[in-house]
């Protein structure tokens, strides 16, 4: 009987294995990205804050500020990602899976979307050089930026709340977040990832179109 319990305990500890040869690599890469990104984006953000008393002169500047903010917040969310890759503590896994992962993805996709807006803005400036299009106004840029952040943060906040409400109790420390997910969290996770994949493809196709069309008009 005792042997059976020991075998069950051993199985629970090894059923979600960690790959030790991979984690140090990601810790190093994420650490370099964190240090370099924090320094560069912090400098740019400080410059924008220093110019805060001046109203944004163009919609492009609005999107650039939001892109810089998204990159800076992404850098701030990386330490928990680094701890997740380099630590086996359950509390670190729980913190990362509850809101650290969503914070990383929110800021990644915020950066992707604002780069999309910047490309579209430049394309409109070529198509409408007079700057009279409604999408080129500063007010519209502020509204679009605000709606973007709300749409990105809403599922992230919902995910974190559901995670704490429906978290599955475990007797081992998982190396991934999936073992902590309930059925509702798993469903939300799949829906969000599907939407993110669609957004990524749409942005990629749009960027190719914008830059190709812009280069043809310029040349």
- Secondary structure (DSSP) of 37-103: HHHHHHHHHHHHHHTTTSPPSSHHHHHHHHHHHHHHHHHHHHHHHHHHHH---HHHHHHIIIIIHHH
Domain of 120: which CATH number? 1.20.1070.10
Which letter does DSSP use for residue 97 in this model? I
Residues of the domain holding 69: 2-218
pTM: 0.80
Choose among 212, 213, 145: nearest CA to 135: 145
Confidence of residue 123 (pLDDT cuts 50, 70, 90): confident
pLDDT at 53: 53
Report the percent of the chain where pLDDT is more than 90: 23
| Chain Cα centroid distance, residue 217 | 33
The number of domains in the chain is 1
| Six token digits for residue 53 | 């008393």
- Strands, E, within the chain: which ranges? none
């Amino acid at each position: 009987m005792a042997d059976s319990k020991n075998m069950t305990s051993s199985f629970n500890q090894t059923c979600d294995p960690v790959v030790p040869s991979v984690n140090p690599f990601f810790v190093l890469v994420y650490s370099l990205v964190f240090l370099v990104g924090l320094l560069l984006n912090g400098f740019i953000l400080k410059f924008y804050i220093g110019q805060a008393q001046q109203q944004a002169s163009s919609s492009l500047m609005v999107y650039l500020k939001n892109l810089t903010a998204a990159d800076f917040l992404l850098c701030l969310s990386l330490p928990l990602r680094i701890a997740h890759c380099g630590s086996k503590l359950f509390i670190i896994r729980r913190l990362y899976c509850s809101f650290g992962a969503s914070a990383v993805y929110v800021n990644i996709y915020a950066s992707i979307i604002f780069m999309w807006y910047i490309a579209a803005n430049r394309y409109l400036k070529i198509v409408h050089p007079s700057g009279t299009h409604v999408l080129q106004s500063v007010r519209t840029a502020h509204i679009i930026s605000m709606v973007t952040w709300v749409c990105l943060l809403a599922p992230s906040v919902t995910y974190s709340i559901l995670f704490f409400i429906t978290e599955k109790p475990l007797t081992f420390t998982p190396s991934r977040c999936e073992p902590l997910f309930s059925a509702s969290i798993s469903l939300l996770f799949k829906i969000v990832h599907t939407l993110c994949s669609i957004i990524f493809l749409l942005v990629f196709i749009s960027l190719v179109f914008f830059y190709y069309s812009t280069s043809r008009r310029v040349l």
